[in-house]
Structure 1
Amino acid sequence: MATGYTDPERRDRIIDAALDLVAEQGVAGISHRKVAARAGVPLGSMTYHFDGMAELLREAFTRFVDDRATAFEEHLAPATTPAEAAEAVTDAIHHIAVGDQRALVLTLELYTLAAREPAFRELTHGWMARSRRCLARHFDADTVRQLDALIEGLSIHRALDTAPHSRDLTARAVARVTAGTP
């Protein structure tokens, strides 16, 4: 098997394997041994690339946050008016945030870690900051904070409710939050 030096993709495979295992088994269910086996790397690669599980999880969730924030930014990028941005937000709640069980589980696992660990809270704050910068192209600061919270809340409720609310209800909620925007 190739060494870490001659296998430049090994670190990425480890991070991907860690995210897959967290999605399947939760943070509490992963170990260095399981991640190494899933990534197809020697167990020693874990300590070669990461100081410990906390560093691996930070790197893995950093990648996850970046992917999710980029998807949101790309989804809202075509909007040129507040009305178009509100429509894109409604779509995001129904399409980006829902239907991807893996992303839902990873998001909730990250939120749980962030509630306990400052390093992970920094990740969630960075994620919120990126979302808010994107929304700030169209809305004032107070509306941005409210809309960001609405997106998170409605997305989680849609994903976990046995009878998810309709797109029309989402559109009305977004319209209420953005009502004062010119």
Structure 2
Amino acid sequence: MTRRHDPGRRDRIVDACLDVLAAEGVAGTSHRKVAAAADVPLGSMTYHFAGLDDLLRAAFDRYAREFGGRFDALMAAAPDRAGAVDALVAYLRGEVMGDHRDLVLSHELYTLAARDPAYRDLTAAWMARSRASLERWFDPTTARVLDALVEGLGIHRALDTGPGDDAAVEAGVRRVAAHA
């Protein structure tokens, strides 16, 4: 029997893990479900990952890096500070990036990091990257406050049962940015 050459298998498993996490949450994620979603033999899971925790770390690390890269690109594309404020407002209105999948994955990572200190390095790196992106246009204190505002408003807007108040979101971002 010849061994199948599949150099992208590990990446496919990580991608499938993110899909399973978005659909089932951390509590519903298992090697068996991820293997089925990745269309790989169950034995591939232990070949590529020491255990489920190793797989979750790889998946959340990839997610945080990719999402952080998108936010970094958003801030880097702003032509000036006013453009950065406009980009943040558009981001929070859902006009630029982010969808339900991103909401679920980010909250699953936050919850896991709140319960397991071993995952806090991933969230700390993500927050540091977000602040560094904001520091292109704002001083470190304002960047930290804007980062927290973006996270908090994003959660409120995503979980609110009524229509979002775009004017309040814009006013909040502009007020914080104006006091920098």
1:124-143 to 2 correspondences below 5 Å: 124-143=123-142
Deviation at 1:10, TM superposition (A): 0.5
Deviation at 1:180, TM superposition (A): 2.2
> What corresponds to 2:56 in structure 1?
57
- Structure 1: gaps of 5 or more residues: none
Deviation at 1:164, TM superposition (A): 3.7
How many residues align? The count is 179
CA contact (8 A) 1:93 1:155 kept: yes
Amino acid at match of 1:20: D
Say whether 1:120 aligns with 2:113.
no
| TM-score (structure 2 length as normaliser) | 0.93
> What corresponds to 1:150 in structure 2?
149
CA contact (8 A) 1:22 1:106 kept: yes
Deviation at 1:117, TM superposition (A): 1.4
SS class of match (1:29): coil
1:1-182 to 2 correspondences below 5 Å: 3=3, 6-95=5-94, 96=96, 98=98, 100-181=99-180
* Matches of 1:27 and 1:159, distance apart in 2: 20
Deviation at 1:97, TM superposition (A): 5.4
* Matches of 1:174 and 1:121, distance apart in 2: 27
Deviation at 1:59, TM superposition (A): 0.3
Amino acid at match of 1:87: D
* Matches of 1:78 and 1:103, distance apart in 2: 21
- Structure 2: gaps of 5 or more residues: none
* Matches of 1:179 and 1:2, distance apart in 2: 65
* Matches of 1:97 and 1:142, distance apart in 2: 25
* Matches of 2:44 and 2:154, distance apart in 1: 37
Over aligned residue pairs, what C-alpha RMSD do you find?
Answer: 1.6
1:133-182 per-residue CA deviation (whole Å, 9 max, x = no partner) reads 1100111111111000000000111111011422221110011111123x
Amino acid at match of 2:154: S
Deviation at 1:26, TM superposition (A): 0.8
* Matches of 1:131 and 1:41, distance apart in 2: 35
Deviation at 1:75, TM superposition (A): 1.4
